[in-house]
């Protein structure tokens, strides 16, 4: 089956620094990837849609200059949290769509970000 | 985007069958219905997907009535390891809107 990985699985950074999270489709090409954020005891909330070779589309309320998304290849999308603050601490999850007519989204294992 | 409504939580005992119903009154003609399972600090895991009638795989069954305005996920003989949050989503090859999900607690 299709596998999506994320790196790192967890990261701790200091307030004001930037951190990059990678999302990779390991055995398929992903034309579209999605980034979600999940706070404790809450559901996943879509942050942005990432299409290979084009600019990401951000959901309302998500600052595009703070959450930089790059989808430079068909197997890699990155999310960079710039000038992180403690309120950015969350569980970040990516998902990917295959290039076929498959309707299923494949989710990564998530990245736990803690900003101190 | 079609909105889904599920029970917030359910309790069951090991060995019982669990049925979780989801309503999606505004489902579009091309939308598929997909159920995911999520354990704490993990990404959602695909359980089953269907368009209409009944779909069965090795872990669950999905029942979809003719009007497709609801669906029921059936988990046969649950075990403690089935304790998780279950999400019902509708859509087709686009970003998914996650509802609150159903928190299933399986007791011994």
Digit-coded pLDDT (tens) for B47-58: 999 999 999 999
Closest approach of chain A CAs to the CA of B87, in angstroms? 9
Q: Which residue has the higher pLDDT, B21 or A98?
A: B21
Q: Which of B22, B27, B44, B58 to mutate to test the interface with A (most CBs of A within 10 A)?
A: B44
Question: Which site among B22, B43, B44, B51 would you substitute to test the A interface, given the most A Cβ atoms closer than 10 Å to its Cβ?
Answer: B43
Strand positions, DSSP E, B1-108: 9-13, 18-23, 32-38, 45-50, 53-56, 61-64, 70-75, 84-91, 102-107
Residue B93 has pLDDT above 90, yes or no: no
Distance CA B23, CA B88 (A): 9
pLDDT at A101: 61
Lowest mean pLDDT among A79-83, B19-23, B29-33: B29-33
**Cross-chain residue pair B95–A104, CB shorter than 8 Å:** no
User: In this model, does residue B15 exceed pLDDT 80?
Assistant: yes
């Amino acid at each position: 089956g299709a596998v999506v990985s994320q790196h790192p699985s967890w990261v701790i950074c200091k307030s004001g620094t930037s951190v990059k999270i990678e999302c990779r489709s390991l055995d398929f090409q992903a034309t579209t990837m999605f980034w979600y954020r999940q706070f404790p005891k809450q559901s996943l909330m879509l942050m942005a849609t990432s299409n290979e070779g084009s600019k990401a589309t951000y959901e309302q309320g998500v600052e595009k200059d703070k959450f930089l998304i790059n989808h430079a290849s068909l197997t890699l999308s990155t999310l960079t949290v710039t000038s992180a603050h403690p309120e950015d601490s969350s569980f970040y999850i990516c998902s990917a769509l295959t290039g076929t007519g498959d309707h299923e989204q494949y989710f990564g294992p998530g990245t736990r970000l803690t900003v101190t | 985007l079609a909105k889904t409504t599920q029970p917030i939580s359910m309790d069951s005992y090991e060995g019982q069958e669990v049925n979780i119903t989801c309503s999606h009154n505004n489902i579009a003609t091309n939308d598929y219905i997909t159920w995911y399972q999520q354990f704490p600090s993990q990404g959602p895991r695909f359980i089953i997907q269907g368009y209409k009638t009944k779909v069965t795989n090795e872990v669950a069954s999905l029942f979809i009535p003719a009007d497709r305005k609801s669906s029921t996920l059936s988990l046969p003989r649950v075990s403690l390891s089935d304790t998780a949050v279950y999400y019902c989503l509708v859509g087709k090859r686009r970003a998914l809107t996650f509802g609150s999900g159903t928190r299933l607690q399986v007791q011994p």
